[in-house]
Amino acid sequence: MDVAPGCFTVVAMSQLVLLGLYKIFVVYKEAEKESIHQYAPMFQDVHVMVFVGVGFLMTFLKKYGYSAVGFNFLVSALSLQWAILARGFFEMDNGRINVGITSMLGADFATVAVIISLGAVIGKTTPLQLIVMSLIEIALFATNEWFGMNVLKAVDAGGSMYVHVFGAYFGLAVSLALRRKDNPDFSNEAAEYHSDLFAMIGTLFLWVFWPSFNAALVTGDNQYRAVINTYFSLSACCVTAFAVSSLVANDNKFNMVHIQNSTLAGGVAVGTAADMMLYPYGAVAVGIAAGTLSVIGYTYIQPALHRVLKLHDTCGVHNLHGMPGVLAGLVGALMAALASEKEYGESLFLQFPARAPMNNTSALTDVNEVLKFLEPGDNRSALRQAGFQLVALLVTFVVAVIGGLLTGFLLSAEWMGQVPNDRFFDDAHFWEVPIDEPDSGVGGAAGAAAEAHSNPAFARKESRDSKC
Amino acid sequence: MDVAPGCFTVVAMSQLVLLGLYKIFVVYKEAEKESIHQYAPMFQDVHVMVFVGVGFLMTFLKKYGYSAVGFNFLVSALSLQWAILARGFFEMDNGRINVGITSMLGADFATVAVIISLGAVIGKTTPLQLIVMSLIEIALFATNEWFGMNVLKAVDAGGSMYVHVFGAYFGLAVSLALRRKDNPDFSNEAAEYHSDLFAMIGTLFLWVFWPSFNAALVTGDNQYRAVINTYFSLSACCVTAFAVSSLVANDNKFNMVHIQNSTLAGGVAVGTAADMMLYPYGAVAVGIAAGTLSVIGYTYIQPALHRVLKLHDTCGVHNLHGMPGVLAGLVGALMAALASEKEYGESLFLQFPARAPMNNTSALTDVNEVLKFLEPGDNRSALRQAGFQLVALLVTFVVAVIGGLLTGFLLSAEWMGQVPNDRFFDDAHFWEVPIDEPDSGVGGAAGAAAEAHSNPAFARKESRDSKC
Amino acid sequence: MDVAPGCFTVVAMSQLVLLGLYKIFVVYKEAEKESIHQYAPMFQDVHVMVFVGVGFLMTFLKKYGYSAVGFNFLVSALSLQWAILARGFFEMDNGRINVGITSMLGADFATVAVIISLGAVIGKTTPLQLIVMSLIEIALFATNEWFGMNVLKAVDAGGSMYVHVFGAYFGLAVSLALRRKDNPDFSNEAAEYHSDLFAMIGTLFLWVFWPSFNAALVTGDNQYRAVINTYFSLSACCVTAFAVSSLVANDNKFNMVHIQNSTLAGGVAVGTAADMMLYPYGAVAVGIAAGTLSVIGYTYIQPALHRVLKLHDTCGVHNLHGMPGVLAGLVGALMAALASEKEYGESLFLQFPARAPMNNTSALTDVNEVLKFLEPGDNRSALRQAGFQLVALLVTFVVAVIGGLLTGFLLSAEWMGQVPNDRFFDDAHFWEVPIDEPDSGVGGAAGAAAEAHSNPAFARKESRDSKC
């Protein structure tokens, strides 16, 4: 009771500070009339992925469904408001941030990085810790994204580097910094039959709308290819994840964790090169690799990381976002190295802006006889562009790890408040829950029935150290 | 058994009468080819909100999930057919109603008013009562909407007055008229762990697609602003609802009722002014106010209304639609009072048609040098427009309350059939249910197990007074 | 253990063979820039229907939710990749298959046929059997669709003949061929309270997005009409299904099976004529007929087929897809017989390409003064077109039944592996399941609790004859 208002204060203050900053900085971007019809459908698809997709994907824990879907909701709604500002500060116009539907898409992308990190630490952190983490992460995300896109000029249509690699390794670093010396009670870290079905709602909406995610912020032919490539990569990844799951599982059965998560790795792994000339067979190949890598990650790598480093990863974001994101960065660099004007035509310079001819050159004049308004570039070669793609991947990884470790140390401070060792993965610590909340050791209602009161109202499990 | 066919007869007859009226009156609107691509995506989003969003939002009751999602389905499918006619009668062309995709959007909006009312009375009413209520409400809705939009010329992009205020106070008035003198058994009016998660499916789809709802029926710059304003209002509202929920709850925990409902109040509260020059900070401010108001409504106002007036409100529509809708009307009037040609440019007359110059004036000629086809208006001043906005809000409120009370008295007639006092919020009264239906007092399956038969088939709880 | 790798091998090999075939055959279609904005929103709606809609619709069985949503996922992801090829082989260009977003829509349609068949046999088949079935069915589907559309020139906007009739009767024929001489244990074939709610997620997404399904592959006025007609047919069907359900059920209660399935029959039944001049009242009439037919199917026809033919139909696809699909074909033929140039104008020849004037005729020249690029047709009369529509329906039915029977005989081979008679409708045979999986005879967790171990981990029910 004495500490809990801290959470209210931080959340409420954050919202009020955002209000003030919006008053000072944010105005409408001029509505180009067509943009609403061009962007709105894909924006809504991405919005579904953030709130329904990721929210429900994390409901697989039998006693942590409220927190999964609820904290994802809170953290996302705060992060996107803050991301509008944090990203906007890098492209201000006369001291104002012009906001339109592409800004909202950009903010949703930034939010995805935060909720990927959430997946690494959920169940072991308080809402206050998550809020503080989000505020720091968004700032760092915006800086890294700006650096990668504007200084390194590395492209990343589906955000596999700037969003997935960043979010995953930031979250894993936070989780590492927050690891407990003593042994918390992990007995609640288990699914039950229906929680696995709720999680599949998240999986399927993510899977279905991923083509929109990878295509939302590119245009023209690039957008067309991004939809097609993502469709094939995901399909091949899904089939592969089933196959490999049955290969590695006991008794050749399928494992729900793989089906919920590894089926999606193809969307991540194709992200950077989604709009490039990957061709459908290339997309299928990426999907096969991603599905295999992700199931192997869940089966062998994640337990090893926990054993060796005490690195705990609640949702296995390393297997869904981390490794497949790195794969995406490598595929992107490879495709960049192979990209030629012969294959792409003049659109090469739209695909890789840094490859465009430099200012005041006759080459630029020639190209602009076709493209009209091409911005001058750095006249990069294919290999040089590939090199910059790799540098962007490396920088993103390093910034995420260092930023995550520092954030994690901050969050581990005593005064910040911690989830008690015996309340891991337990909604009842933060939520008013009905008495039938599944109990550890026995699924479903049987456990609840055993402790049921005659009063059908809420049985609030009081917890003296409760902290929002 | 003797009375139940009444429901079949009314539903079947309604459908057949609709068929006849469609034969007489309804033809296709001429397809302007572009309109399908302009309207179809947002129409589908709105359609999801009506059937999935509202349907699942109401599944939070542990023993009333079939009815929540099922009666919402039935009532909506009937209401929208009837709304096509009821709204169409006001704009007939040569004795025919021309139906296109905007008519379908309008019918979906009308349906939302009905299912908001449903939220006030669900669990305490028979399907027959709900059907009769819908038929009356749609007629009244169409009349009030036509009067407000065409006579008062008060604008309301997201329907916060014509849909939300109307639906909420109509439903509350019906609920008041249906209140029981004796004390029904409210012990089934409780959530269980998984029913709360089902409800979150509804919440999130409503939250995610609300920008489409508020923007679906406006065009151009107005549509652009409606998407942006709604996005920010909802985000700020979500964060605020979490903060205030933890402040008012026992032990500073979060309360699922607030998260399921109050997070959405920002979509309602920004509805009337959604397409106006509210600016993102204005939208954030509206969201903060709406989230606070809604949680306070659930925590303090709703129990007081029940205690003082015996006004029972199953889903708390007063807190999600009623008060936030009134707030929306006031914000809309304020923005109308502040609207100047300086800020809006010529588009002021598209935003507020009644402010356009009158017919045969040089002012109209001047404006039409830019806008070409502007309809003449009433040359209203900003304050006068604001006044008409307030009148529309008041008229809507009064029509809803009086209409709801009269409808409620009709529905309370003995011959209409009533839910027995001991069958409130109980699916088994209307549905064939599996034996594991959660039982009052004990959540989940434990109760069912206690009364389980060896036969796994349906255990129909016979009820002599059963009435559809 | 010894046989299970068979499944892994077949799935993995299929995926690798697809990779090879894609390398050889598949290239990008040239991106017409507008097509992405025209097709992407409806494509995403259809994609939701395939994976979320059908997947969750089949989760109604209390112990088969993982398999319903999982096998639908696996089978669909494989089928669509294969359908791209199978359909593409019929329209190759210089030895290459040009793939774009309409190809993806076509592949999703083909996949729907397969997962309709899945609905007839789910719970009684192994994943290996389902995979083999899909591979055969897609090939046959593509051949029949090509024959119907290009040789018979019978139109079918929503695929009610080529997709629904084909998928339903193929699946029923497979089920017939797979029927057991001995009596399997059907005691798990029952819903529980929450599994019925999960199924409603599927129902509602199918219902809401069906207008996009019927309209996705037609254009212009036809697309406009397809959206409108489907909206009205589904609404009338929903209302009718509720009415008839209460009429035929015990005690006049509603039956969840009808609400989950029969409410959708209007989308099927209007499919062939969706883009024709059916008018809203015609669509309503079709919806009423479909809802009635489907509920009668579930109540009287399905049990009779099981009793007389031992034809078991898990999801009742005969009532949702089979009979309503035949109805759609008949309505389509009727509308074709009534179609005149007077009513459709020149667009008659876009609606029914075979009715266009023949090559090198003055009639074609006249029409092309309006339509510019009309392909020459066969100068068919209205009645002749209607006749070809009926032939297409008949051919589809016959191909489906014969193909399904032959496929079923193949699948019934001993070496293919069969689900043991005592493991029908049981996830635990194929999946690692948590210990709370609902147990037969007692719903929910009570049964699981009885056999609960102190260890909260998975209790894998070993099965010596387990087979993926």
The pLDDT assigned to C33 comes to: 57
- Tell if the CB–CB gap between A251 and C80 is shorter than 8 Å: no
Q: What is the spatial distance between Cα B372 and Cα C174, in angstroms, rounded to a whole number?
A: 64
Taking the Cβ of residue A212 and every Cβ of chain C, the question of whether any pair is shorter than 8 Å is answered with yes
Residue A442 confidence (pLDDT): 34
DSSP B318-333: IIIIIHHHHHHHHHHH
Torsion angle defined by CA atoms of residues B58, B61, B65 and B70, in that order, rounded to the nearest 10 degrees: -40
Q: DSSP character for C263?
A: G
- CA A362, CA A368: separation in Å to the nearest integer? 10
Between CA B240 and CA B263 the distance in angstroms is: 8
Partners of residue A88 in chain B, C-beta under 8 Å: none
Q: Provide the pLDDT confidence category of residue B3 given band limits of 50, 70 and 90.
A: very low
Say which residues have a Cβ less than 8 Å from residue A376's Cβ, sequence separation at least 6: A356, A357, A358, A359, A360, A361, A364
Q: By the 8 A CB rule, do A371 and A221 touch?
A: no
**B 9-38 residues with CB < 8 A to C:** 11-12, 14-16, 18-19, 22-23, 26-28, 31, 33, 35-37
* Rounded to 5°, angle at Cα B181 from B179 and B185: 75
Q: Are A432 and B243 inside 8 Å of each other by CB?
A: no
Nearest to C242 by CA among B4, B148, B60, B8: B8
The segment with the largest mean pLDDT, out of A276-290, A428-442, B335-349, C359-373, is A276-290
Q: What is the per-residue pLDDT across B218-251, written as a single tens digit (0 to 9) for each?
A: 988 899 999 999 999 999 999 999 999 999 977 7
pLDDT at C32: 65
Q: Closest by alpha carbon to C158, among C381, C378, C335?
A: C335
Report the alpha-carbon angle C137-C419-A204, nearest 5. Answer: 60
Residue B216 phi, psi dihedral angles, 5° rounding: -60, -35
Structure-token match 């009842």, residue found:
A428
Coil, strand or helix at A278: coil
B87 vs A445, residue with greater confidence: B87
- With CB atoms and an 8 Å threshold, state whether A281 touches C19: yes
| CA–CA gap between residue A10 and residue A135 (Å, rounded) | 11
Smallest CA–CA distance, residue B292 to chain A, in Å, is 11
**Nearest-angstrom CA–CA distance, B387 and B376:** 20
Q: What pLDDT does residue A99 have?
A: 95
What interhelical angle do C220-248 and B65-88 show, nearest 10? 130
* pTM for this entry: 0.94
The residue of chain C with its CA nearest to that of B26 is C280
Phi then psi for B241, rounded to 5 degrees?
Answer: -60, -40
Chain B, nearest residue to C255 by Cα: B432
What pLDDT, in 10s, does the model give residues C225-272? 999 999 999 999 999 999 999 999 777 899 999 999 999 999 999 999
Residues 6+ apart with CB under 8 A from A156: A148, A149, A162, A271, A272, A329, A332, A392
C-alpha Rg value of chain C to the nearest Å: 23
Residue of C nearest to A44 (CA): C41
Residue B437: pLDDT band by 50, 70, 90 thresholds?
A: low
Please report the pLDDT score of residue C468 as a whole number: 55
β-bridge partners, C47: none
Q: Is B349 left (phi over 0), alpha (psi -120 to 50) or beta?
A: alpha
Indicate the pLDDT class of residue C36, thresholds 50, 70 and 90: confident
Looking at CA atoms only, how far is residue C459 from chain B in angstroms?
A: 20
Does A115 touch chain B if contact means CB atoms closer than 8 Å?
Answer: no
Report pLDDT digits (tens) over C166-189.
Answer: 999 999 999 999 999 888 999 999
- With tokens 């964790």, the residue in question is A257
Domain coordinates of chain B in residue numbers? 46-340+381-422
Write down the number of H helices and E strands in chain B: 20, 2
Measured between CB atoms, which of B250, B253, B438 is closest to A430?
B253
**Which residues make Cβ contacts (< 8 Å) with residue B55, sequence separation at least 6?**
B68, B69, B72, B73, B76, B202, C200, C204
Residues in contact with C373: Cβ distance below 8 Å, sequence separation at least 6, in sequence order: none
Q: Subunits that touch chain C (at least 3 Cβ pairs < 8 angstroms)?
A: A, B
Which residues of C fall within a CB distance of 8 Å from A187? 456
Pick left, alpha or beta for residue C183 (phi over 0 → left; psi -120 to 50 → alpha; otherwise beta). Answer: beta
Of the partner residues A62, A227, A246, the one whose CB lies closest to the CB of residue C36: A227
Average pLDDT of the residues in B380-385:
97
Which stretches in chain A have pLDDT values below 50?
1-5, 440-466
> Where is A243: in which H helix or E strand?
helix A220-248
Q: How far apart are alpha carbons B461 and B448 in whole angstroms? A: 12
Nearest to A428 by CA among B195, B255, B190, B202: B255
CATH of domain A5-30+37-338+381-422: 1.10.3430.10
Cα A336 from Cα A276, distance rounded (Å): 8
Interface test with C, best of A60, A189, A244, A251 (most C CBs within 10 A): A251
Q: Hey, which residues does C93 pair with through a beta bridge?
A: C96
ipTM, 2 dp: 0.93
Largest Cα span, chain C: 85
User: Is C197 an 8 Å CB contact of chain B?
Assistant: yes
Q: How far apart are CA B93 and CA B95, in angstroms?
A: 5
The CATH number of the structural domain formed by C22-27+40-338+381-416 is 1.10.3430.10
Instruction: Label residue A420 exposed, middle or buried (CB < 10 Å: 0-12, 13-18, 19+).
Output: middle
Q: What is the three-class DSSP state of A191?
A: strand
pLDDT of residue B249: 79
Domain B46-340+381-422: CATH superfamily, name plus number:
Ammonium transporter AmtB like domains (1.10.3430.10)
Token digits for B325? 């809708």
| pLDDT > 70 in chain C, percent | 91
d(CA C399, CA C159): 16
pLDDT in tens, C308-326: 999 999 999 999 999 999 9
Q: Which residues pair with A27 in a beta bridge?
A: A98
Q: What is the pLDDT of residue B81?
A: 98
Predicted confidence band at C451 (pLDDT cuts at 50, 70, 90)?
very low
Radius of gyration of chain A (CA): 23
Degrees (nearest 5) of the Cα angle C35, C41, C47? 110
| Residues of chain B positioned with their CB less than 8 A from the CB of C444 | 436, 444-446, 448-449
DSSP B255: -
Determine whether C229 is exposed, middle or buried from the number of CB atoms within 10 Å of its CB (0-12, 13-18, 19+): buried
The amino acid present at B390, given as its one-letter code, is L
Mean pLDDT of chain B: 91
For residue C322, the model assigns a pLDDT of: 98
For residues B229 and C229, the answer to whether their CB atoms sit within 8 Å is no
B435 at interface of A, judged by CB pairs closer than 8 A? no
Q: What is the pLDDT of residues B96-135, one digit of tens each?
A: 999 999 999 999 999 999 999 999 999 999 999 999 999 9
